[in-house]
């Protein structure tokens, strides 16, 4: 390391330690921000209830020197991007921090001992809907922006804060932002990882529809299934059966042949999750719709996996005289489970050689004296969209997955503090590192 780089980083370390000391002394503000965020009842579904929360965050960001933009989403929801310009944006690393403002439904209120939308503190844990998933992370980021602002900490590179909605209902909030050209050198999705650095497999839903060109009365059944009946027709429900079997064969083939470190074998599943067909007992079913959920490994592409399933369905059809001439339709994914009954979560591979990955690893170690766990999430979040749009990314945030979506959801305050300190150290170093220094 060169002499000037050394003093450079020593100086940065001094600033980081000052920020950490400030964090130790100013936890009331963190809890206050969390209390406010938890009070907004941003439950999804039904969704369409986040504008007030997003406006509050926008004002908060503006007070910390951010320029904010509100991007329209569904009626009653909007996406928010705040940018804090650096001193030399082009020459230094910039960063996206991404979080979702929507929270899971609370289920039966009677099963809660605590109040879901009123933050409570008990034995080191903060209780309220969204504390683990993921308002504690959003609050921590806002808190550290406030501390940076009040301490007059200027960065060389830009920090972009994305407060999205829709993640809980498979809605394309993050996707919409990235389609609109928001980008950075690196992105951290601060969703629930219990302070592990996580990648993830991909997940896509699809609808398979078998449709007969004509709907027959139940009285025609004999003619379409027995010798000499002479009617070339079929029940759409019965024709879905070989397709489901074909998908099971492919699922088993995947389990036998595919592998990925960090996943148990056979994690690539094709779930026939929901089926709907026919009209009533007086008719032969003219239509049948199968809703499937497909999970795949981080090194597989969405398009590849969809193609494999399409090929399998086609192969099943090729061996059936009726399906051969009445090919099913397949509709993949969708931008919202609520509006389109479809969702996509692309996979995210981890690049452990990436400078930002190593820096975050070091920052976590600086704060906790331990290396973070590096693993594959058993779940999915928006982080895969960054990879899909060519932006290196990881998931890293406080909160436990067992708490996310649960009754009496909570998060450990100590974990929130560790997270905030790690992020502060990361931002100060990453956004003051020159792009060509890599």
Q: Using the rule CB under 5 A, is 191 a contact of Zn ion?
A: yes
> Taking the chain, what is the end-to-end CA distance rounded to the nearest angstrom?
13
Q: From the CB of 411, what's the least distance to Zn ion, in Å? A: 12
Q: Measured between alpha carbons, how far is 350 from 124 in angstroms, rounded to an integer?
A: 32
Is the Cβ of residue 169 or residue 204 nearer to Zn ion in the bound state? 169
Length of the chain: 438
Q: Identify whether the C-beta of residue 296 lies closer than 8 Å to the C-beta of residue 268.
A: yes
Q: From the CB of 382, what's the least distance to Zn ion, in Å? A: 8
DSSP state of 139: H
Is the Cβ of residue 191 or residue 409 nearer to Zn ion in the bound state? 191
Q: Using the rule CB under 5 A, is 102 a contact of Zn ion?
A: no
Q: Identify whether the C-beta of residue 286 lies closer than 8 Å to the C-beta of residue 211.
A: yes
Q: Using the rule CB under 5 A, is 134 a contact of Zn ion?
A: yes
Q: Measured between alpha carbons, how far is 315 from 319 in angstroms, rounded to an integer?
A: 7
Compute the Cα dihedral for 147, 152, 156, 157 and give only its sign. Answer: positive
Residue 329 tokens read as: 């339709």
Q: Using the rule CB under 5 A, is 30 a contact of Zn ion?
A: no
Q: Using the rule CB under 5 A, is 188 a contact of Zn ion?
A: no
Q: Using the rule CB under 5 A, is 133 a contact of Zn ion?
A: yes
Selected range binding Zn ion among 102-110, 132-140, 198-206, 358-366, rule: CB under 5 A: 132-140
Q: Using the rule CB under 5 A, is 164 a contact of Zn ion?
A: no
Question: Which residue in 40, 58, 60, 59 sits closest to 130, CA to CA?
Answer: 40
Is the Cβ of residue 191 or residue 415 nearer to Zn ion in the bound state? 191
What is the number of alpha carbons within 13 Å of residue 376 lying toward its C-beta? Answer: 18
Q: Measured between alpha carbons, how far is 63 from 118 in angstroms, rounded to an integer?
A: 25
Q: Using the rule CB under 5 A, is 300 a contact of Zn ion?
A: no
Which residue in 158, 167, 185, 349 is the catalytic one? Answer: 167
Q: Using the rule CB under 5 A, is 415 a contact of Zn ion?
A: no
Catalytic site residue 351? no
Q: How many CB atoms lie within 10 A of CB 94?
A: 23
Q: Using the rule CB under 5 A, is 185 a contact of Zn ion?
A: no
Catalytic site residue 415? no
What is each CA distance from 420 to 142, 147, 232, in whole angstroms?
A: 10, 11, 67
Q: Measured between alpha carbons, how far is 417 from 412 in angstroms, rounded to an integer?
A: 9
Q: Using the rule CB under 5 A, is 409 a contact of Zn ion?
A: no
Is the Cβ of residue 266 or residue 378 nearer to Zn ion in the bound state? 378
Which residue in 102, 191, 382, 400 is the catalytic one? Answer: 102
Selected range binding Zn ion among 31-39, 186-194, 237-245, 295-303, rule: CB under 5 A: 186-194
Is the Cβ of residue 205 or residue 383 nearer to Zn ion in the bound state? 383
Q: Using the rule CB under 5 A, is 382 a contact of Zn ion?
A: no
Is the Cβ of residue 191 or residue 308 nearer to Zn ion in the bound state? 191
Active-site residue list: 102, 167
| Binding footprint of Zn ion on the chain (CB under 5 A) | 133-134, 191
């Amino acid at each position: 390391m060169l002499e000037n780089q050394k003093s450079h980083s020593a100086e940065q370390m001094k600033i980081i330690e000052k920020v950490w000391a400030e964090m130790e002394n100013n936890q009331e503000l963190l809890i206050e921000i969390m209390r406010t965020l938890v009070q907004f009842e941003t439950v999804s579904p039904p969704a369409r209830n986040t504008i007030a929360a997003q406006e509050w965050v926008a004002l908060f960001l503006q007070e910390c020197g951010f320029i904010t933009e509100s991007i329209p989403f569904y009626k009653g929801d909007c996406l928010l991007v705040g940018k804090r310009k650096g001193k030399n944006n082009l020459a230094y690393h910039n960063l996206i921090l991404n979080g979702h403002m929507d929270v899971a439904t609370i289920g039966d209120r009677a099963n809660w001992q605590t109040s879901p939308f009123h933050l409570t503190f008990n034995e080191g844990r903060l209780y309220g809907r969204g504390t683990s998933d993921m308002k504690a992370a959003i609050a921590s980021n806002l808190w550290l922006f406030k501390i940076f602002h009040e301490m007059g900490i200027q960065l060389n590179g830009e920090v972009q804060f994305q407060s999205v909605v829709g993640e809980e209902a498979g809605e394309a909030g993050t996707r919409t932002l990235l389609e609109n050209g928001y980008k950075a050198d690196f992105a951290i999705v601060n969703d629930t990882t219990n302070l592990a650095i996580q990648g993830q497999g991909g997940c896509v839903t699809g609808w398979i529809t078998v449709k007969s060109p004509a709907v027959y009365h139940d009285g025609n059944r004999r003619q379409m299934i027995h010798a000499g009946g002479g009617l070339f027709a079929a029940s759409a429900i019965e024709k879905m059966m070989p397709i489901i079997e074909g998908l099971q064969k492919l699922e088993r083939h995947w389990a036998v042949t595919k592998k990925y470190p960090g996943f148990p074998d056979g994690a690539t599943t094709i779930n026939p999750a929901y089926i709907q067909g026919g009209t009533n007992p007086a008719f032969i079913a003219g239509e049948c719709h199968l809703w499937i959920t497909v999970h795949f490994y981080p090194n597989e592409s969405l398009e590849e996996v969809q193609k494999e399933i399409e090929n399998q369905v086609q192969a099943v059809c090729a061996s059936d005289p009726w399906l051969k001439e009445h090919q099913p339709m397949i509709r993949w994914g969708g931008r919202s489970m609520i509006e389109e009954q479809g969702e996509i979560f692309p996979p995210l591979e981890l690049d452990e050689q990436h400078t930002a990955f190593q820096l975050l690893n070091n920052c976590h170690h600086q704060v906790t004296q331990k290396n973070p766990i590096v693993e594959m999430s058993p779940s999915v979040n928006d982080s895969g969209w960054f990879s899909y749009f060519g932006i290196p990314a990881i998931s890293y945030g406080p909160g436990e997955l067992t708490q996310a979506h649960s009754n009496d959801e909570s998060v450990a305050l100590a974990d929130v503090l560790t997270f905030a300190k790690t992020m502060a150290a990361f931002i100060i170093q990453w956004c003051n590192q020159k792009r060509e220094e890599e």
